[in-house]
A and B are shown apart, each in its own frame.
Chain A
């Protein structure tokens, strides 16, 4: 085995993200690592790459335990990672980027550009890598940037290459050339760890596949020996606990549409999205994170720029260019970045709740504190926020209580549409139950909810209707009652299944 990990345990703030993981990767083999968001794939790769350190367990290279404390140690052992995010210096050329940290110098310590270029060109030729070395990294397309990063890895006499979601931003042609590059590397006996959400790619290019789930290793199989359905089951199969309130039994057929959007696009994250939400309906938007759902929600609230398409509320077309417009039309937004966008961290609960509605409770610019106080007290009771006092500073509250404060601040405005981005992010299970109850309660009062979530169980059990995003577009739509994890996963990887005539 080229690289093995033995009994790796990693905890963040008491939460176990990797639990006794054992895996082995061989040279000349493309080994896929799959699992849902938060399964621990990236954490494991960062441990191998020396960015994180395991709490327990060991990493073995050629059967000897090694200590990898930083990226340089990893590079010395021949381990290179191409991260999902952009990792080049934009205002330097590809050549300068590739040679960064190992520049060749000649007389008077001057950098020898000619020899560096000849050296890199030789390596590029050997591995069949085509990239313009004189271009500035900032001018490269996503595909070229990935290739440049792989080229940089190749100059480190690499033995194991880790590719984290390399095709996330690539089109089909680019993927094909990436695959031929991977085959070249494989032929040179280099090991490749391939992390991807796209299962068809896994079957196309990989020899082996390992599944991680909730920080545990589920199993490793030869890709030839299993099929797609088997793999999806291995990735998701788990029990659904009774944390979710029951859906209302009354039929919602024929209820009026509150918000309609048609052919909505922004500059780069989503294209041609059409959807609607009815009165008293929870519309869940699922899909792998980073496929445009988040940006759509922000654009609806006026926090992102729309380039084309229309939004209408109760049949009337509206233009939302700023959150102030969105508030005017009765929309409220719960950000996934609660710390920065949801709450004024160092202010009291009372003030946080009062901010959006200050306009309504003042006399000639003076805040009517008594009215405000009564209102805030009422909301705290209604949402069951647990506090020592209304004057308590928000940042000392638990995640669940903080989220309730964010909800509470919007309610005095009587919103008709709630836009929720990851409503239970960083909230423990007990508080999740409470938040779900509140959401159901709000809906029964006539509010409509659009909820973007990467929590599969939440999506399946809270939504009345589910829309799945894939690469910035709606990939499929299902009624909440019939959708299953397998169906959602399939749609989220771009291969929606038809169920009962519905896609």
Chain B
């Protein structure tokens, strides 16, 4: 079917003036970026590399799911990186080779993650302060505990756990599969259930939500708990992948998860955007990271610095681009 001139016109207009919850622009950007990337680095589209990108995007994607919940609810979680690090150390400190122990420690880590999130939420309920300050502080708090547990990376993770969590064959891999599963669950909750609706209303106009008889503090706390739970999953995964824990493993995920969310069209003010956009934002960041690594490898450069520069530029451009929406 050939699109008529009119549909193209509306499509272009929507792109220039993004509407509400639309994440169209970011998908278009992805496709547009893919063309020069394929020309410059043909290796990018090799199946092995694509599979690699999918594995790499899984942890960021999971953290970004939680971050999207929090930002949609009008908050922000700057403590995600430290939560991930602390969980990785809790796991690596307590784990032994016994299967029962592995399961128990993993469960404990998930509970801790939820509790970390709840702590963020409760502090915000008890002492109403900007979430950016509160979570920055709790982030330092979590990281401090992590450093106290282990000054360098260390601990022990049984090889069996690594084998299970990093298993892959062809395009399928456990981390990406887990990400898709979690994404499906949390997208369903966000888009189809009452709780999801309340998250949007909380960020959009908390006053109205409260006057509708909803306890907004509880909704807010739950968004941080979702974030904490996902951080815990990522913490366990990173610990398993590297077979150790470290107070620094999670560092990069704080800014990256916010960038993935905002680039995906979720408004920093809350109430606007959604997980589909964040999904695209995650792909974009992972794609760029992979391309940078490829270029760095080819020219023997230090890719991490360039990645930081690009992340910063991306976040500012996205916030500027979306500023006038509505």
- Given contacts A92-B201, A109-B193, A101 and B213 within 8 Å (CB-CB): yes
Q: Is B211 an interface residue (CB 8 A)?
A: yes
Let me know if A101 and B200 touch, CB within 8 A: no
B213 partner residues in chain A, CB cutoff 8 A: 70-72, 75, 101
- Given contacts A103-B194, A110-B193, A87 and B207 within 8 Å (CB-CB): yes
Closest A residue, CB atoms, query B200: A92
- Given contacts A72-B213, A92-B201, A138 and B193 within 8 Å (CB-CB): no
| Cα distance, A105 to B189, chains bound together (Å) | 12
A88 partner residues in chain B, CB cutoff 8 A: 205, 208
Q: Is B212 an interface residue (CB 8 A)?
A: yes
Let me know if A138 and B326 touch, CB within 8 A: yes
Let me know if A136 and B20 touch, CB within 8 A: yes
A90-B326, A101-B214 given. 4 additional CB < 8 A pairs?
A71-B212, A72-B212, A92-B271, A105-B194
Let me know if A89 and B211 touch, CB within 8 A: no
B201 partner residues in chain A, CB cutoff 8 A: 89, 92, 100
| Cα distance, A105 to B213, chains bound together (Å) | 17
20 residue pairs bridging A and B, Cβ less than 8 Å apart = A72-B212, A75-B213, A88-B208, A89-B201, A89-B204, A91-B21, A91-B200, A91-B272, A92-B201, A100-B201, A100-B209, A101-B212, A103-B194, A103-B197, A105-B194, A108-B188, A108-B192, A110-B193, A111-B192, A136-B20
Q: Is B308 an interface residue (CB 8 A)?
A: no
Closest A residue, CB atoms, query B194: A103
Which one, A70, A91, A101, A105, contacts B271 given CB within 8 A? A91
Q: Is A96 an interface residue (CB 8 A)?
A: yes
Let me know if A90 and B205 touch, CB within 8 A: yes
B214 partner residues in chain A, CB cutoff 8 A: 100-101
* Interface of chain B, main secondary structure: helix
The chain B residues found within 8 Å of chain A, CB to CB, are 20-21, 188, 192-194, 197, 200-201, 204-205, 207-214, 271-272, 326
Closest A residue, CB atoms, query B214: A101
A96 partner residues in chain B, CB cutoff 8 A: 197
B207 partner residues in chain A, CB cutoff 8 A: 87
Closest Cβ–Cβ distance, residue A79 to chain B (whole Å): 12
Closest Cβ–Cβ distance, residue B88 to chain A (whole Å): 33
Let me know if B193 and A71 touch, CB within 8 A: no
Let me know if A91 and B20 touch, CB within 8 A: yes
Closest B residue, CB atoms, query A110: B192
Closest Cβ–Cβ distance, residue B208 to chain A (whole Å): 5
Let me know if A90 and B204 touch, CB within 8 A: yes
| Cα distance, A111 to B214, chains bound together (Å) | 16
Within 8 A of B (CB), among A81-108: 87-92, 96-97, 100-103, 105, 108
Let me know if B209 and A71 touch, CB within 8 A: no
| Cα distance, A89 to B267, chains bound together (Å) | 14
Closest A residue, CB atoms, query B273: A91
Let me know if A89 and B326 touch, CB within 8 A: no
| Cα distance, A92 to B205, chains bound together (Å) | 10
| Cα distance, A303 to B100, chains bound together (Å) | 68
| Cα distance, A102 to B194, chains bound together (Å) | 9
B210 partner residues in chain A, CB cutoff 8 A: 71
A111 partner residues in chain B, CB cutoff 8 A: 192-194, 197
Which one, B192, B208, B272, contacts A100 given CB within 8 A? B208
| Cα distance, A70 to B204, chains bound together (Å) | 21
B21 partner residues in chain A, CB cutoff 8 A: 91
| Cα distance, A89 to B20, chains bound together (Å) | 12
B271 partner residues in chain A, CB cutoff 8 A: 89-92
Closest Cβ–Cβ distance, residue A125 to chain B (whole Å): 23
Closest Cβ–Cβ distance, residue B29 to chain A (whole Å): 22
Task: Write the A138-152 contact mask toward B (1 if CB under 8 angstroms, else 0).
Answer: 100000000000000
A97 partner residues in chain B, CB cutoff 8 A: 208
Closest Cβ–Cβ distance, residue B90 to chain A (whole Å): 32
Let me know if A100 and B326 touch, CB within 8 A: no
| Cα distance, A102 to B212, chains bound together (Å) | 8
B209 partner residues in chain A, CB cutoff 8 A: 89, 100-101
Task: Write the A235-249 contact mask toward B (1 if CB under 8 angstroms, else 0).
Answer: 000000000000000
Closest Cβ–Cβ distance, residue A70 to chain B (whole Å): 8
Closest A residue, CB atoms, query B213: A72
- Given contacts A101-B209, A136-B20, A91 and B204 within 8 Å (CB-CB): yes
| Cα distance, A70 to B326, chains bound together (Å) | 31
A136 partner residues in chain B, CB cutoff 8 A: 20
Closest Cβ–Cβ distance, residue B325 to chain A (whole Å): 9
Let me know if A89 and B208 touch, CB within 8 A: yes
A92 partner residues in chain B, CB cutoff 8 A: 197, 200-201, 204, 271
Task: Write the A443-473 contact mask toward B (1 if CB under 8 angstroms, else 0).
Answer: 0000000000000000000000000000000
